[in-house]
Amino acid sequence: MSAGVSVTAIPAQTRGWQRDLIGISVILIAALAGYFLFPNNLALLTRMIAIMLLVLSLDLVTGYCGVATLGHAALFGSGAYAAGIAAAHFGITEPITMIAIGAIGGALAGLISGVVILRGHGLAQLVLSIAIIHLFHEAANKASEYTGGSDGLSGISPDPILGVFEFDLWGRTAYVFGIVLLLLVFILLRILVRSPFGMLCRGIRQDPVRVSAMGASVKLTLIKMYAISGLVAGVGGAFNAVSTQVVGLDSLSFTNSAEALVMLVLGGVGSLYGALIGTIAFIWIEDLVSAANPFHWLTIVGALLIAVVLFAPKGLYGTAATFVERYRRGAK
């Protein structure tokens, strides 16, 4: 096969960029397909985008740095509340500004979480992350003056985007806005994980001792990554606040964090595509099964998760990638 030969002749770096171009166009095509094939499901798809940003952000610390956390929604929720409070109490209703405020809120929460969580190792780390999410949740519950407490923060009414595109009942504007955000974040993250900094993080995941022997500060690097991760999760949270016009305590909940982790592992840890695919698969199945049987759908979702571990132990994307790899080798 001459094509195969020519592909292998290209240096690995360039080939990676080619693959990214293909990846991004696949996302674009999927986004367009979603818009035209499911015009009545845009609310669901929009929620999916917000969660995708959360799962991508989780992948940065879990997949690329090897930090196990069950408290990642703290970053997402902080972004959501930051944007929501800015809109509801301070009259900042310009959507792009709201997203920026959310990103800053998320980054701050990421810094705090990072400093605390990175203190522990293994199980202790997991427990610190659980403590963090409960503290954030309780703090939001207590500050009901600003957050609306358990009743949720309502009264968020974002302006039309760029003063032109209004948020409508069908959720078209929100969906397109979300896709644009997602693509931007995705491209930036691809650059990030390829950068020397991203490589350093992967190095830490594989062997922290060696990395520190090389003279790099493990902790500082991870905290930086945590802040970046917070930025991404904050964008997701803020986008959720903008598109649903409400923020609830659930956005800061342990359940939300655990679900994000499940989606990530389902898709495949350590790959941005895995994060996207895991989110789509989980939310889509959940929606399908819970609409078909709102009373007993949990059993089916549970059985599917078990099946994934048994038959696709590297996650959906990881296993598919292995298959493709094997096929390619076979074809040569």
Which residues from 82-121 bind other proteins, rule CB under 8 A? 116, 119-121
Which residue from 15, 210, 296, 328 is in contact with other proteins, where contact means CB under 8 A? 296
| Cβ neighbours, 10 Å, residue 38 | 12
Instruction: Report the run of H or E that residue 80 belongs to, with start and end.
Output: helix 73-90
Q: What is the dihedral of CA 7, 20, 278, 316, to 10 degrees?
A: 0
With CB under 8 A as the rule, give the number of residues binding other proteins: 77
Site for other proteins in 257-276 (CB under 8 A): 258, 261-262, 264-266, 269
Distance CA 29, CA 183 (A): 12
Work out whether 218 is an interface residue with other proteins (CB under 8 A): no
User: Which member of 145, 294, 330, 332 binds other proteins (CB under 8 A)?
Assistant: 294
> Binders of other proteins among 307-326, rule CB under 8 A?
308-310, 313
CB nearer to other proteins: pick between 172 and 194: 172
Extract the tokens encoding 62: 């879990």
The smaller minimum CB distance to other proteins, of residues 42 and 225, is found at: 42
- Chain center to CA of 320: 21
List the beta bridge partners of residue 247. Answer: 153
- Measured distance CA(182)–CA(133) in Å, rounded: 25
**Amino acid identity, position 121:** H
Among 24, 183, 218, 301, binds other proteins (CB under 8 A): 301
Binding to other proteins (CB under 8 A) within 27-46 occurs at 40-44, 46
Query: Are 112 and 105 in contact, with CB atoms under 8 Å apart?
Result: no
d(CA 153, CA 167): 18
* CB nearer to other proteins: pick between 197 and 212: 212
Residue 282's closest CA among 316, 327, 314, 313? 316
Judged by beta carbon, residue 47 or residue 72, the one nearer other proteins is: 47
What are the structure tokens assigned to 306, written together?
A: 């078990």
- Hey, which residues between 124 and 143 contact other proteins (CB under 8 A)? 124, 126-128, 130-132, 134-135, 138-139, 141
We find the least distance from the C-beta atom of residue 9 to other proteins, in angstroms, to be: 35
The residue from 27, 216, 218, 304 that contacts other proteins (CB under 8 A) is 304
255 lines the binding site for other proteins (CB under 8 A):
yes
- Smallest distance, other proteins to C-beta of residue 217, A: 18
- Is residue 285 near other proteins by the rule CB under 8 A? no
Sites for other proteins among residues 42-81 (CB under 8 A)? 42-44, 46-47, 50, 62, 68
Binder to other proteins among 35, 165, 197, 254 (CB under 8 A)?
254
Give the DSSP letter string of 1-41.
-HHHHHHHHS-HHHHHHHHHHHHHHHHHHHHHHHHHH-TT-
Name which position in 57, 221, 229, 240 contacts other proteins (CB under 8 A).
240
Q: Are 73 and 256 in contact (CB under 8 A)?
A: yes
Taking residues 146 to 175 in sequence order and writing x for each that binds other proteins by CB under 8 A, - otherwise, the string is --xxxxx-x--x----------xxxx----
Whole-angstrom distance, CA of residue 305 vs CA of residue 307? 5
